[in-house]
A and B are shown apart, each in its own frame.
Chain A
Amino acid sequence: MGEVTFLEVSKRFSLRVDGEVHHVQALDRVSFTVNDGEIVALIGPSGCGKTTALRVAMGLDPSTGGRVTVDGREVNGCGYDRGMVFQHAELLPWLSALQNVMFGLEMKGVRGAPLHETAEKYLHLVGLKDSQNRRPHQLSGGMKQRVGIARALAIDPKVLLMDEPFGALDAQTRETLQAELLDIHARTGKTILFVTHDLDEAVLIADRIVIMKNGRVQEIMNVPLKRPRPDLGLVRGTPEFAATRYKVWRAIYDGAALH
């Protein structure tokens, strides 16, 4: 199981700008559900609150109203039921790829032979068996993010939370990793909530797309593309992809035009 529910989640920041206190409503009564095994994309213009929503779900930032639940249990801080994939992988530079994956497992209390075996298993899953002893700076951007994904998956969370995981990668690497993420999803069945600003990525990967605007959920859209999607190149050529992409684009830019 791995069902994430946002219930009227709000988040207010206070900033001091030139001596004046400004209040920023980063999230305004955000409600939506990510069903078990589903992939949901959070998309919207920068500053719309999509990353804040993800961080609240992870427990890195507290909400100022409402609540997030995972399988009915309220989120209160970080937990092993959620695994976070950071925007720039954020590997620990002094540890090898394998040790980085082991880090999360060690924190979870895994010791001895299972520690090593589990970490190797997940590095294998992301296709990095041969590079396990390299340190992060000896890995390419795409490889780093693969390690980041393996690290999050290794603790066997119910939900994978991803913050623009492929945003910093070049186009080709991004497409490879998108396909690999779908493959990993097909094999593990994890629930995935990911933030992106890439329309194509949202449509290619997600089952549903949550479009955010000014801290609110503007629209939730179904992606009428069947799973599995083994060849994303073919998916790009389908009329459903084009139509959905256009609908999401309209929703974002019409929303912008209103303001």
Chain B
Amino acid sequence: MVDIANRQEKAAAAPETAERLPGWVITLASIAVVVILWEIFGRRVNPVFGSYPSAIAQAFWELAITGQLWLALYDSLRPFLLGYALAILIGVPLGLLIGGFRVAEAALGIYVTAGYAMPLVALVPLLILWLGLGFAVKVAIVFLMALFPICINTWLGVVAVPKTLIEVGKSFVAPDIVILRRIVLPATLPYIMAGIRLAVGRAVVAMVIAEFFTTISGLGAVIINSANNFDTATMFVPIILLMLMAVGLNWLIGYVERIVAPWQAEIAGRDRE
């Protein structure tokens, strides 16, 4: 009996140590493998058709010391952050409204569902006619791309709130608006945060689209100019910077989520890391 118990303990302990390896170590190892493979195979390719990490790093350095990269980043970030913030500011209340009230869902839900699938690129020329070629149209493009995932996720979150939690509010004679604020909103927070995360990627794509099709500016301009010069390594610099930015924003949102909705991670058992 003792022997069996011991063996079971050992068997249970083995996967435990594998799980103890911190997540960031695994991530770093994965990145190292990809970068090394890319370096090895990228060097064999004609530099017009492809590039490799050390060449990109060198191009990054050159763009960075001239300050060109940071000016471009600043140019890109302004419409990006404004459009993204507006999408959160409008998308969340709109989603709460649509999810919370039957009439709003019937009246507005269809526009949101359709809007999510809207081929925004096709509408850019029209947006230019309305808003010009400058800052406003870029904000509008980012806003329109980021709005719908935030709104739809919030809406789905409201619909998923357990009926019994709402009945708790009703049993204490809470008015609808109080139930929405004190019960539905906190219960929906994890969905809202997921929507805000999904919107990061779309907002980044929208920003580059805006810089390609309206006034060529910011990081989009760096991409276009270097591509036109067949300078593939330089072209990759803003692309990788944008991807890093999206990863960083995602992490930041996750951090904010753990502050505003700590119970969610605790319930899922993710609070020990």
Write the nearest CB–CB distance from B175 to chain A, whole angstroms: 9
Helix, strand, loop or mixed for chain B's interface? helix
Chain A 67-93 per-residue mask, 1 if CB under 8 angstroms from chain B, else 0: 000000000011110111010101011
Q: Given the complex, which residues of A lie within 8 Å of B187, measured CB to CB?
A: 93-94
> CA–CA, A69 to B167, complex, Å?
21
Which of B29-37, B224-232, B260-268 is the contact stretch? B260-268
A149 to chain B, nearest CB (A): 13
Q: Is B183 in the interface zone, CB < 8 Å from A?
A: yes
Residues of B within 8 A of A90 (CB): 162, 164-165, 167-168
Q: Is the CB of B173 within 8 A of A92?
A: no
Given A137-B266, A137-B267: A92 touches B172 (CB 8 Å cut-off): no
Q: In the complex, how many angstroms separate the beta carbon of A81 from the nearest chain B beta carbon?
A: 10
Which residues of B are found within 8 Å of A108, using beta-carbon distances?
172-173
With A93-B267, A94-B261, A103-B182 given, is the CB distance from A78 to B170 under 8 Å? yes
Query: Looking at the complex, which one of A78, A92, A138 makes contact with B171 (CB distance below 8 Å)?
Result: A78
- Judged by a CB distance under 8 angstroms, whether B186 is at the interface is yes
A135 contacts B266, C-beta separation under 8 Å: yes
Task: Kindly state whether residue B45 has any CB partner on chain A within 8 Å.
Answer: no
Chain A contacts with B in 238-258, Cβ cutoff 8 A = none
CB distance from B264 to the nearest CB of A (A): 8
Question: B144-172: which have CB < 8 Å to A?
Answer: 162, 164-165, 167-172
Determine how close the nearest CB of chain B comes to the CB of A140; give it in whole angstroms: 15
Report A114 CB to chain B, min CB distance, Å.
Answer: 16
Asked whether B266 lies within 8 Å of A92 as measured between CB atoms, the reply is no
Closest A residue to B182 by beta carbon equals A103
- For the residues of A in contact with B, the DSSP-based class is loop
Contact: B173 with A79, CB < 8 Å? Answer: yes
CA distance A95 to B186 in the complex (A): 10
Q: Are A107 and B174 in contact (CB under 8 A)?
A: yes
A2: interface (CB < 8 Å): no
| Distance, CA A80 to CA B261, complexed state (A) | 30
> Nearest Cβ distance between residue A160 and chain B, in whole angstroms?
12
Residues of A within 8 A of B168 (CB): 84, 86, 90, 92, 103
Q: Which residue of A lies closest to B267 (CB)?
A: A137
Residue-wise interface mask of B (186-203) relative to A, using a CB-CB cutoff of 8 A (1 in contact, 0 not): 110100000000000000
Give min CB distance, A92 to chain B, whole Å.
Answer: 7
A60 touches B167 (CB 8 A): yes
Verify A155–B186 contact, CB threshold 8 A.
no
Neighbouring A residues of B173 by C-beta, 8 Å: 77-80, 107-108
Q: Report the Cα distance A232→B170, complex, angstroms.
A: 35
Closest beta carbon of chain A to B78's beta carbon, Å: 35
Contact code string B204-215 (vs A, CB < 8 Å = 1, else 0): 000000000000
Residues of A within 8 A of B261 (CB): 94
Cα-based distance from A138 to B267 in the complex (angstroms): 9
Interface string of A32-67 (1 = CB under 8 A from B): 000000000000000000000000001010000000
Chain B residue numbers with a CB within 8 Å of A137 are 263, 266-267
Given contacts A79-B173, A80-B173, A92-B165, 16 further A-B contacts (CB under 8 A): A84-B167, A90-B162, A90-B164, A90-B167, A90-B168, A92-B183, A93-B263, A93-B267, A94-B189, A94-B261, A103-B182, A107-B169, A107-B178, A135-B263, A135-B266, A137-B267
**Which residues on A are within 8 Å of B, measured CB to CB?**
58, 60, 77-80, 82-84, 86, 88, 90, 92-94, 103-104, 107-108, 135, 137-138, 155
- List, sorted by A's number, 26 A–B pairs whose CB atoms are closer than 8 Å: A58-B171, A60-B167, A60-B170, A78-B170, A78-B173, A79-B173, A83-B171, A86-B164, A86-B167, A86-B168, A88-B164, A90-B162, A90-B165, A90-B168, A92-B168, A92-B186, A93-B267, A94-B261, A103-B172, A103-B182, A104-B172, A107-B178, A108-B173, A135-B266, A138-B266, A155-B172
Across the A-B interface, give the 9 residue pairs with the lowest CB-CB distance, nearest first.
A107-B172, A84-B171, A104-B172, A94-B186, A107-B174, A90-B164, A94-B263, A137-B267, A93-B263
